[in-house]
Structure 1
């Protein structure tokens, strides 16, 4: 294999890895964007909800027997989707017990200090979930191992064997599911009655209330739905990546960076932001040490913020 073929193969391999990892980042970001765009709550516990999806998926696949029932290929995907249902229930419970007291109409009369209460509460939830997970599951890394995790599809490009593309099966399947889920989320928000209710509650709480919309219920659905989407992303990531209770810390900054890059309040923009981060991370390894992946991400992040502060799909609002 000549040097040009090696360069092309490495470039294509990094590009594909960036697209697959970026698609999963994008799904995580969509969950966070759904919560923030509707509720205007900065949720520090989003990483722990991601890890919740990982453990729920592992439990459903192994202990409940979904892996035995559906096999090592369909089983992990169904376990990840059902794990999202578990995390949705957790998100609804967290909102009903805690977050409803510092968001929605209850927070409207707090003279601007509701954000301090929200930040403190979600940080407390984050610490409680991560340390609770450590007590329940221990610090030993877990993994949802299937044949897909260690096997790859090989594709010969340009009609020969000089340039080969190796596609990890678990990561490829997870990325395809992630893209389909993002499309489903976008259609749900744009086309369904519940989605329009969420958009109305996000735009103007008072007007939505006058129109007969239960804002607190809309916020509960937004928080549960955002938790579920990120939880499903966690279940998909668990198909190829080991995890433990503090794994969420590795992803929380990626999620926030992706949401800001895409534009605050834009769900589709959040996906594009996550996709951009995945591409930058993987393509940067062609010229930089692996330890500087995140440094490259934040250089691009700063450049985008300097040139387009509102993000890819954000809107410029003039304040008077």
Structure 2
């Protein structure tokens, strides 16, 4: 039995191994920030769907890659359709998470929501069209040296359709990235050197990685040969899932919540829970221990204190919120510079 793996098989297996490794690295954070919550929220459902549908959905793909014998072409074609369906589902979940995050950052602005929904609908329509109408015949390619698994080449016509589909997804991702960077910069406190922390917390860096990965996938589809055109597709899908998981874990990280002198959104939720705080007039936030955290202080000296702060579940319906942060009632109505706190 030959131990040689076809490049297409390596392209399927390597991202899956990376996904499993990333899962082990963040398992403790997942347990603390999601499994230990008393009630299940919509945000948690999205997180678990993205977190576990991705590895489970790719198990059949990994299994056919490791098959010890050649698989009939008809079975491989059905596996190809299954792979495309998994891609659409995972990208759809990621899109919902990204759009909801931006919707929260813009304080439930309906214009922003309409813009994102319109672009997402166009991208989804193009993607479904590209999958369902692809009737081109793939060129004949000799079987891989290993003689096992499914190695289906992608013709130029199919690659063009897939490039258009991924192009629509890339436009949506670029829109999310641009909106996030713009709002993160607006919420940045002048003089603060923690802009990288803000971009990390708000997801801008993750959205940038997703966008760049999509661009690399499109270039591979357009420029590579028939045997290697689809080699970046699985990687792109898994990278998107990993970045979404990281984003949702970071949004419940108390240390990343306090990245500026003013208070910013520390959870994944809608603007219904946003309070317009005047940090300069109400500089004290009290934790469960009763110890104040003053505005402008270097929160790095309060690592143990901040880690004990419990934020409310990131719900769209935030009527059942946690009172872990005691806020002066006057802060809700006092006119001042806008600083969002989702707690």
TM (normalized to structure 1)? 0.29
More helix by share: 1
- Between 1 and 2, higher relative CO (CA 8 Å, sep ≥ 6) is seen in 1
TM (normalized to structure 2)? 0.28
For the pair shown, the structure with the greater C-alpha radius of gyration is 2
